[in-house]
Amino acid sequence: MASPYPDGDREKVASKLPSALQQALKVRAAELSLDIQDAVEAAITHWRASDRPSGEVETAGAKSFSTWLPTGLYEDFKSTCTARGVSYTQGLAQSIRDWLDDNPSPRAGIQASDPERKIVCNQKGGVGKTAVAAGIAQAYAEEGKRVLLVDYDPQGHLSEQLGVPQIEPDHDSLVSHMCGEGQGDLRDLVVVIDDQRFEKRLHMLPACFDGFLLDSRIAVLSANKRGFQKEVALEMALRPIESDYDVIVVDCPPSLGIAMDAALYYGRRRRDERSGRSGVVIPVLAEDSSATAYGMLAQQIEDLCEDLSLDVEYLGLVVNLYDSRRGYVATSSLENWKSLGDPKVLAVIGDLKEQREAVRTRKPLLSYAPNSDQAEAMRQVARGATR
């Protein structure tokens, strides 16, 4: 509905818009020193002219919203909505959402509250993802950074190795927060690794048994809940606590499913974030099957980046459990990994006893054997994964 503006060049438009978008629009317009009516005009004009597909926005419970637009623009906007087969409320919500994305807050670049995000991943099991994730998290905490170590693998090996109980089914967990069903503050689930070496700077978000159902739950939500984008689920859950940490390390499951996509999205390079700060660390073995698995993961990363216009950086490879006594296969595979050049090999970690002993005693490696070759290799990986 529209009514004339006192001076005749604009008309008042009454529509509906979700409360969250109304508030975000108000704040962003103020940050950019714009009148709300000018922001809405720019949003609608750009949305009508754009051929970029806009995902649906959840508009249930949208509240009354009114503003002033140039005479005739609202009628043109309604015609575009009709042509695209969306309601006027949906069209306005898409317009505002896209405008907010294209006009970020002046403070929305990489902020002090945005931690480095290290995604330790490989769908091949047994390559040492958990050991590497734990090791680099400990190295960062050792040097004075506040670190969150996320056990994203429902098998819970990381939680078990550090003596942290998994979260029981049907309790508040990372999974429930990823699915928009969190009942409390995610901080309440975080456990401090009580070790003098890290001075309470090393925290863990434990695994949960419900994690085995994560892919299917997110797939159902994506299919049934308008506006739910499955790739952003992990970021949606972790964003509220990011300001508490300098580094977040995610130990991923051996999978190429939806959960992996969400982890890769979380580790993407954010707007204005400098290169080499966040991305993926990939543990591999010096054997042929590990090269095949790496190729599959690299293809998934490439496809996700192309589909969503992302930049996911390879921070480097870690050749783990290396033993030259295994002969030509091991030595030639190591040379092949090194010859890639990009991603570079951050470290070669031998198949030594200290890591296994630390796991048996439920102690962090860098506390159990701080002067061991494995501990120093973890520090080397942490340094190399932050440029």
Pairwise pLDDT comparison (222 vs 110), residue with the higher score:
222
Q: Which of 58, 52, 49 is nearest to 80 (CA)?
A: 49
Residue with tokens 């975000």: 24
> Which helix (H) or strand (E) segment is 113 a member of?
none
pLDDT > 60? residue 84: yes
Taking each helix axis from N to C end, the angle separating 214-224 and 258-266, rounded to the nearest 10 degrees, works out to: 80
Helix, strand, coil percent values for the chain (each to nearest 5) = 50, 15, 35
Q: Tell me: the pLDDT tens digits for 91-147?
A: 999 999 989 888 887 655 445 458 999 999 998 888 889 999 999 999 999 999 999
What angle (nearest 5°) sits at the alpha carbon of residue 172, between those of residues 170 and 174?
110
**Distance, CA of 385 to chain centre:** 17
> Which helix (H) or strand (E) segment is 154 a member of?
none
C-alpha torsion sign, points 84, 88, 90, 93: positive
Cα–Cα distance measured from residue 189 to residue 274, given in angstroms and rounded to the nearest whole number: 31
Report yes or no: 135 and 281 within 8 Å, Cβ to Cβ: no
Written as six digits, the tokens of 10 are 């604009």
Can you give the pLDDT at residue 1? 47
Work out the average pLDDT over 67-92: 93
Cα–Cα distance measured from residue 202 to residue 191, given in angstroms and rounded to the nearest whole number: 9
Residues 6+ apart with CB under 8 A from 108: 271
Amino acid in the structure at residue 215: D
* Domains in the chain, CATH or no CATH each: 2-102 (1.10.1220), 116-384 (3.40.50.300)
Cα–Cα distance measured from residue 32 to residue 234, given in angstroms and rounded to the nearest whole number: 29
Work out the average pLDDT over 187-205: 94
Cα–Cα distance measured from residue 366 to residue 142, given in angstroms and rounded to the nearest whole number: 8
Q: Which of 22-31, 176-185, 261-270, 340-349 has the lowest mean pLDDT?
A: 22-31
Cα–Cα distance measured from residue 343 to residue 289, given in angstroms and rounded to the nearest whole number: 18
**Distance, CA of 302 to chain centre:** 16
| CA distance readout (Å), 153 to 68, 144, 148, 162 | 51, 26, 15, 14
pLDDT > 90? residue 261: yes
Work out the average pLDDT over 82-96: 93
Whether the bond between 70 and the residue before it is cis, its omega within 30 degrees of 0, is no
